[in-house]
A and B are shown apart, each in its own frame.
Chain A
Amino acid sequence: MRNFFILLALPLLVVSVSAQTLPQHRVLVRYQGLQPEKYLPPLDAFLTSDKLALWVVPSKLAVQATEDDVIKEARSFACDLVLSIENADSSGKDEVSWRLWSPEEAKPRVSGKVMKERPDWATVADVYWLFLSKPLESQLGPGSPPWPKATVSDTVEFKITARPGTLVKGLASGPVLVPETGVAVVSLAIPVSLVLEGRLAGWRTRAERVFVNSPAQAVALHQTPLADWALTASLNNFAFPSFGVEWYPNRGNLALRAQIDQFLGGLYFGNQSNATASSWPVQSLPLATVQLGAAWFWSPAEEQLRFYTAADLGVRWMFPQFRIFTVEPIVPLTLEPLAGWDYRWTEGQSLYFELGPTIQWAPNADNFRASQKSSMVFEVPLPGVPLFVEFPLKAKVGYRWSF
């Protein structure tokens, strides 16, 4: 039963984690003073952490640069914020002056000065800049006053090359469909940072991050064809190896699949008197289920973790002592509705996990109960239809090789 609630909760987790937002502000960080090679990395980590979620652009200006130079630099990188920090030595301590301001405003929104002990970088790097947390959150967090948009310096044509029919997302003007020529031309106000994602049935499009700050820039989206076939090997209920083949018509989201759940060889960690006489933790039953089914992948092919649902109809076969080969009469048919998660760690290879009930059709309920040994089995309350569901739910963890 616990498996059932975990099953319900997992899609919610997938949705909540996927809903993370992109950074809303680009901040130009101008740091002057002591040891920038030590102070800047933890500052960068602090500013880009989930709490503030800023897009950080380090300033490359020399020490003698003026404030006008800083404003020009901020505009060239489309930064709407500037964080200026001066760190000076004061009798062996750090005297840190800072201010957060907009290139479009005359005065800083918030500023301050603190005295801090010289840090021991091995132990306090992660917490050194935490004193900025409250004031920055007050200006950038929910309910804070709006900041002026970054000034646009020019409008240019930007070329996106991809297969015809690819729908390109991530542009401020909305999605763009790549025409037959394979090149989509869009007008962009520069400078601008883009995260371009593509969608094309049968193809996986790699997301591209691109910074556009000059005319005649272009990007080619990398696209690879999806697999037509896949072979699977899994461990059924963490005990019996299973094997299967999947076919993806038109390389789409639908998978037609065939599997064999064999029980000739499997693991068993219980009382060996119920299994085989072997001292090894193994069991063997002259039984196999041949399944035909279909799966539907709800997540786009571009996502590394894809969610899918499936239904498999199975026929159980038995072959005691290999003297007969016949449909197993006690539970001749099974139906398995499943939820699955496919985690692709590299092209064509993934690990997957499936979970769901095995609904067993037992024409003779008395014989079914006589065959039951250790599992918990519940009768489905359907009058005249002898169906049983077994607990724990069927779980499969496996490897999928797509080609």
Chain B
Amino acid sequence: MVLLRVLLSHLLAVTALLQAVSCWSPVFDQNVSLAAVTSSKLSREAQFRVSVNDDSNTTYFALPSRERSPVSVVVFGVSTTKLGYWVWSNSGGSWGQVGNSGNMSFDSALSDPELVSFQAGTTDQGFSAAVYLPTLGGGVVKVVTAPNYSPTPMAFAAAAPSVLGLASYPTGVGQAAAYLLTYQSSALVVQGVAASSAFAGPAVNSGTQISLASYSGSAAYGWFAYDPGNDVAYFTHYALDSSGKYTTDGIVGTGIAASWNRKDHVVAFLSTNQLLTKEGSYYDVCDAQGNIAFTFPAGSLRFAGEYWDSDGTPRSAFTTVLPVEGGSSSSSSSMNVTIYSIPTKSLNTLK
């Protein structure tokens, strides 16, 4: 009996050592699980696998083109000092890479690369997309163009006029594909940009324009969403207030029509005349006053803009980019890209 006790105590000690060394935690990633909860209610449009640079601390996100036939997808990879993209297209039912950027290095660190707004548009001539990095250079828009799917070097929008935010809205051909919130001559100005202009050309229309005297908020950069029908700019300041919350303003031509302090920031203004915001791992859908109508889990699932389907119904696109093998999302050399969608009016089924 004594021998048994000694052996059992040794067994316990050895097992404890093994477990302690392994630093065990269960197989669980909150963001993957939350994405799975919501994606199970979405239509899966496409899935393909991309090879990526095995670079540490890289965040990946995918952006499908608004045009769905054929559909193209740009996959961005953002690390602390680099940004790259891969353009994929579906031809005849199979996915293939049609271009890539290589690694674009930046002098300044992309200190907060997960905070990315994005916009894509497809024209008859090719593909263009924009990525917005609020921490880089005070909110400079970076533009990628790939006419005729032929990869070209990444082009950058001019830093002036100062861009405070980038917003998307599912408009028709010839209308603005994206809206910029800019700071020009002591005034906040919303500018619409055509997709074909590759975001570098002049504004095709001008929306809200208010003088800074009428706008009591600061002109710092942040997240921006635009309601073109009512000409309202929703702007969440990147800086937190003293209570650790974001300040979001609903701005009209005469000043601030609504303002609220919460932990969410704006993402997009939807065709349902509702505002989509994000707080941590969840999306909120709010009315124009910022009142939350419902919430649904997001995790690794990213809203990727609205588009019109073939019968004219607005749909919301979502994407996930997940590592094929275990480990952190940055240590896998290939990623699974999945595109989902749902009619925007049915977003409330996700709650």
Contacts and interface: CB of A to CB of B under 8 A. Distances in A.
A369 B322 CA distance: 9
B18 interface: yes
A321 B281 contact: yes
Interface in B281-326: 281-282, 295, 297, 299, 322-326
A323 B282 contact: yes
Contacts of B19: 237-239, 392, 395
Contact of B36 (A14, A330, A360): A330
Interface string A270-285: 1100110000000101
B14 A269 contact: no
Contacts of B125: none
B160 interface: no
A299 to B, nearest CB: 12
A121 to B, nearest CB: 25
A226 interface: no
Interface string B1-43: 1011001100110111011101111111110111011001000
A213 to B, nearest CB: 29
Interface string B237-257: 000000000000000000000
B6 to A, nearest CB: 10
Contacts of B281: 320-321
A105 interface: no
A374 B36 contact: no
B16 A283 contact: no
Contacts of B27: 330-331, 360, 368, 371-373, 375, 377, 388, 390
Interface in B20-68: 20, 22-30, 32-34, 36-37, 40
A366 B12 contact: no
Of the four ranges (under 10, 10 to 19, 20 to 34, 35 or more), the interface on chain B belongs to: 35 or more
Nearest to B15: A395
A364 interface: yes
A194 interface: no
B12 A329 contact: no
B322 A238 contact: no
A3 B18 contact: yes
Contacts of A326: 37
Given A238-B20, A341-B8, A330 B26 contact: no
A51 interface: no
A168 B325 CA distance: 61
Given A3-B15, A238-B20, A370-B322, A13 B29 contact: no
Given A285-B30, A353-B8, A353-B11, 9 more contacts: A2-B18, A6-B14, A285-B25, A366-B322, A367-B322, A370-B326, A371-B33, A392-B22, A397-B16
B202 interface: no
A283 B30 CA distance: 14
Contacts of B326: 369-373, 377
Contacts, number: 149
B4 A370 contact: no
A369 B325 contact: yes
Interface in B261-279: none
A198 B18 CA distance: 41
A285 B28 contact: yes
Q: 4 smallest A-B Cβ distances: which pairs? A: A270-B23, A372-B326, A370-B322, A371-B29
Nearest to B299: A320
Contact of B28 (A2, A269, A287): A287
Contact of A269 (B23, B32, B282, B336): B23
A370 B24 contact: no
Interface in A253-276: 263, 266, 268-271, 274-275
A318 B23 CA distance: 21
Interface in B190-228: none
B326 to A, nearest CB: 3
Nearest to A334: B26
Given A324-B297, A366-B324, A287 B26 contact: yes
A99 B36 CA distance: 84
B16 A238 contact: yes
A268 B20 CA distance: 8
Of A305, A372, A390, chain B has the most CB atoms within 10 Å of the CB of A372
A119 interface: no
B137 interface: no
A373 B25 CA distance: 9
B328 interface: yes
B32 A371 contact: yes
Query: What is the interface of chain B mostly: helix, strand, loop, or mixed?
Result: mixed
Contacts of A366: 322, 324, 336
A142 B43 CA distance: 79
A141 interface: no
B32 A355 contact: no
Contacts of A390: 26-27
A320 B30 contact: yes
A373 B328 contact: yes
A283 B34 CA distance: 19
Contacts of A369: 323-326
Interface string A322-352: 0110101111000000000101000000000
A67 B27 CA distance: 78
A271 B15 CA distance: 20
A373 B29 contact: yes
Given A6-B15, A320-B297, A328 B23 contact: no
Contact of A263 (B1, B14, B26, B295): B26
A269 B20 contact: yes
Contact of B323 (A343, A370, A392): A370
A133 B99 CA distance: 88
25 contacts: A6-B11, A6-B14, A13-B4, A238-B19, A238-B24, A263-B26, A263-B28, A268-B23, A285-B26, A304-B1, A321-B280, A326-B37, A353-B8, A355-B15, A370-B29, A370-B324, A370-B329, A372-B325, A373-B326, A374-B25, A377-B27, A390-B27, A395-B15, A397-B12, A397-B16
A17 interface: yes
Interface string A288-316: 00000000000000001100000000000
A331 B329 CA distance: 19
B172 to A, nearest CB: 36
Contact of A370 (B7, B14, B336): B336
A225 interface: no
Nearest to A13: B7
Contacts of B34: 320
Interface string A39-54: 0000000000000000
B229 interface: no
Contacts of B92: none
B93 interface: no
A10 interface: yes
Contacts of A275: 25
